[in-house]
Structure 1
Amino acid sequence: MWKGKTAGDEILIANYNSKNRTVTDGHLTEIFSMVGHRYGYDDVKAEFSALRDFKVRWQRSYKWAIFTVSDYLDRAPDDVLENLAEVLFSKITGQDAQYGDVFLNYVTDRQLTRTNRKDFLKRSRNLSKTSIGDYHDLNDCVNRLRDQRLIPDDIECVLTWDNSGSEKAAGVSVLQGVVWVSKVLDQKGIPEYVLDYSVYHMMCYLMLGFNPGPDMEYDHRRLIAKHPMRYDAESWLNEHGLFL
């Protein structure tokens, strides 16, 4: 259990580190403590960490909680961090608060995405940082998808290969705007429609945007159903021990 002092009830204007102008852990704790008190938590600590993914981890007991927040949010305004804390404490206590516009608008801002993407790629050791593989270029997949009018011309993302050897054929970070495809598919003889569908499957999440609501998976299934080779591609992946 964390035994530190309980933060005060007052919330101050964000303090910034003079070196890199990030919100301090102390100020983050003040924000989370203020919200936590409303949910019955009287001992709260929060800190930023250089996590690869845009996420929050926490530990908790009856009256205390410790949060580790991705440092992609270490420049966020107070109201953004307060909304995040509100949603987290709501989930912890079995309630169902939703992210507000102030949070959604901030984390989906294109400039923030471009800035955080650089750190995401640096922290992703298994990603090749290039669309060009030994036998395939993922940009060719995008061009074919555009020719089929399956994706818009102005969609913005980074395409890269995943060298982890995972059985997952492809992946995506919506908030970072990155799509990756398993290097297992960078071989001679891999059907183009398998590569195209793997990229398309993930780009559908980008087209939907950051949407943690209950309809996201339904909307995603509706989009992937538009690909003319969907079932052939899924069957091929399944036969070769891969999945999306």
Structure 2
Amino acid sequence: MTCSVHLYNPYKHGHINASKTQENEMSECDIQEIFSSVGKDYGFRSVTAAFSPENDLKVCWMRTGPTIDFWVSDYLESAPEDILESVAEAIYRKIRGSGDDSYPERVVEFLTSRDFAEENRGSYLQRKGGVSTDRIGRHQDLDASYRRLVRRGLVEREDDLVIGWVPLGIKKDVGNSSVLMRTALLNRRLDNPFMDDDLIDYCLFTQITFVQMGFYQDSRERRERLEELIGSYPHHERYESALRDMGLGNGEELSPEC
């Protein structure tokens, strides 16, 4: 049986193979030892664990009886031992269906730190492929849009927030953004001369709001809060209707996945 769990899945992602640099990173031996040691407490006698260049921050596993193999997102390569032990504990609890499988506060603090974002954002953006972090597109200026939203008090100004464009192919999502990596990326299809400023502002608002909401472990609570915030945007229904006419929408988190 092969399964995976997202530690936190920042919206929806594509699949690009890329490798992180290996400076000051935990060895494969260490991750193996941690998952093997914790696994014994949950009845797993044969455990393998290795880091894998995943696009998302997630842990995948394949299980056969008391044998289990793990592939752990390499975004965690530089995580301290106690963080990895806590992640392993939460994953095993989820697998066994025993107890609370949420992450301790120290894990949340590590994942939501500015240091974590700065260390991993380059690899994250590279793996997405085709991302432009230049706010000024061919036809639309996201920096001007951001300034308008800040001026209206609809979002907060954050110097480390990466705003840009991402090609989503046939996907119908307005954007593809990440809480942990602190990126707000709009679908490149919106960078066209027929978009008016008001609609661009609304689209960027949805992505920045998603990021600035911060980390939620409860997906239902996160979804309800996001829908509430986006629904409070002036003339929300008008803009949603315009996006539907374009064949676009706010993905599964409004019905969100992420």
**Per the shorter chain, which TM-score range?**
0.7 to 0.9
Q: Deviations over 1:121-175 (max 9, x none)?
A: 2222131232221100111221111111011123631111112323211111111
The equivalent of 2:232 in structure 1 is 226
Please, which moves more after superposition, 45-54 or 151-160?
151-160
Q: 1:150 touches 1:226 (CA, 8 Å); kept in 2?
A: no
Q: TM-score, normalised by structure 2?
A: 0.82
Do residues 197 (structure 1) and 199 (structure 2) align? no
Q: CA deviation at 1:228?
A: 0.5
Letter of the structure 2 residue corresponding to residue 85 of structure 1 = A
Is residue 106 of structure 2 the alignment partner of residue 102 of structure 1? yes
Partner of 2:180: 175
Q: Distance in 1 between matches of 2:222 and 2:56?
A: 20
- 2:125 aligns with 121
Q: What amino acid sits opposite 2:182 in the alignment?
A: G
Q: 1:93 aligns with which of 80, 91, 96?
A: 96
Does the CA-based 8 Å contact 1:28-1:47 persist in structure 2? yes
2:218 counterpart of 1:215: no
Query: Which of 48, 52, 60 is residue 49 of structure 1 equivalent to?
Result: 52
Quick check: 1:54–1:175 contact (8 Å CA) kept in 2? no
TM-score by length of 1: 0.87
Q: Which amino acid aligns with 2:63?
A: R
SS in structure 2 at match of 1:136: coil
Q: Runs in 1 of length 4+ with deviation above 6 angstroms?
A: none
Q: Paired residue for 1:111?
A: 115
Q: Indicate the residue corresponding to 2:6 in structure 1.
A: none
Secondary structure at the residue paired with 2:145? Answer: helix
Is the deviation greater in 59-68 or in 176-185? 59-68
Q: Secondary structure at the match of 1:55?
A: strand
The corresponding residue for 1:66 is 69
Alpha-carbon deviation of 1:184?
A: 0.8
Structure 1 counterpart of 2:167, which letter? N
Match of 1:237 among 237, 243, 250: 243
Match for residue 149 of structure 2?
Answer: 145
User: In terms of Rg, which structure is larger?
Assistant: 1
Q: Within 1, Cα distance between the matches of 2:62 and 2:68?
A: 6
Cα offset, 1:32, TM superposition: 0.9
Percent pairwise identity: 31
Q: Is the 8 A contact 1:181 1:199 kept in 2?
A: yes
Q: More relative contact order in 1 or in 2 (CA 8 Å, sep 6+)?
A: 2
Q: Cα RMSD between the aligned structures?
A: 1.7
User: In structure 2, what is the Cα distance between the partners aligned to 1:229 and 1:189?
Assistant: 19
Per-residue deviation, 1:22: 0.9
Residue 88 of structure 1: CA displacement?
1.1
